[in-house]
Amino acid sequence: MTLPRPFEGFFEEMGRFFQLTGRIFAWTPRPPYDWRELLRQMVKVGVDSVPVVFLTALFTGMVLALQTFSVLRRFNAESFVGSLVALSMVRELSSVLSGLIVAGRAGSAMGAELGTMRVTEQIDALEVMATDPVHYLAVPRVWATTIMLPLLVVMGNGVGILGGYLVAVILMGANPVSYLDKSFQYMDSSDLFSGVIKAAVFGFLLAAIGCQQGFYTTGGAEGVGKATTAAVVVASIAILISDFFLTRLLF
């Protein structure tokens, strides 16, 4: 049976993704454990993404406060700006936006790096030297991202709330104490927890997709370019779609 091209391509990609995921889980418990590489990737994916995630969260929190303030004022409900900003950031925006940003930064880098290794036969060379490329390349990258993205999101939560606070208090003249009070009044640990879980899933997805695109690169420099683009586009879509289902599942 032959499927129309776009469908065929879609199922092929899905098949590759689940195959790679299976291999990542199968290889993870097996020695040798490359702690140094894991650490190196954690720095590359996590620490190096701090500035860009910081800015994203800060300005998202700020614009949220700006927007909701002017809308809620129409209902005399300005006092809820703090709750709205905090809950939006923690439950949804911090994880999704950080996921998208890290997909653009680190996921694309994985696609490009592994893609270049593929087209220059470095991945073949690894296999020849009895080293499984999934074990050696994908496992540290995927787990590093799965660990670091939730941490970035926790930081993003704080920064986003701070951004909202600054706008509300300085620009809109809200009462600092009651603003902060409202920010945390309606929040419970499950809000925080679900955002962090989502971030871990997004981290896994974007890194696995980046690695997958890299591994299956063909066709020289142009192929590496395509793999890099695909790593970002596919990961972003995967994050947005899985966000819906995760939200449905977690709340």
Q: How far is the CB of 130 from other proteins (least distance, A)?
A: 5
Say whether residue 242 binds other proteins (CB under 8 A). no
Residue ranges in 108-127 that form contacts with other proteins under rule CB under 8 A: 116-117, 120-122, 124-127
Residue 135: partners with Cβ closer than 8 Å, 6 or more residues away: 27, 30
Residue ranges in 130-169 that form contacts with other proteins under rule CB under 8 A: 130-132
Q: Given the complex with other proteins, which of 27 and 184 has the nearer CB atom?
A: 27
Say whether residue 28 binds other proteins (CB under 8 A). no
The answer to whether 76 and 31 are in contact (CB under 8 A) is no
Q: Extract the tokens encoding 193.
A: 């927890």
- Give how many residues touch other proteins by CB under 8 A: 14
Q: How far is the CB of 23 from other proteins (least distance, A)?
A: 8
What burial class does residue 188 get, using C-beta atoms within 10 Å of its C-beta: 0-12 exposed, 13-18 middle, 19+ buried?
Answer: exposed
Residue 117: partners with Cβ closer than 8 Å, 6 or more residues away: 123, 137, 214
CA-based R_g, the chain, Å: 21
Q: How far is the CB of 136 from other proteins (least distance, A)?
A: 9
**Residues 107-119 as b or e (16 or more Cβ within 10 Å = b):** bbbbbbbbbbbbb
Q: How far is the CB of 125 from other proteins (least distance, A)?
A: 4
Q: How far is the CB of 10 from other proteins (least distance, A)?
A: 18
CA angle 127, 213, 54 (to 5 degrees): 115
Chain contacts with other proteins (rule: CB under 8 A)? 116-117, 120-122, 124-132
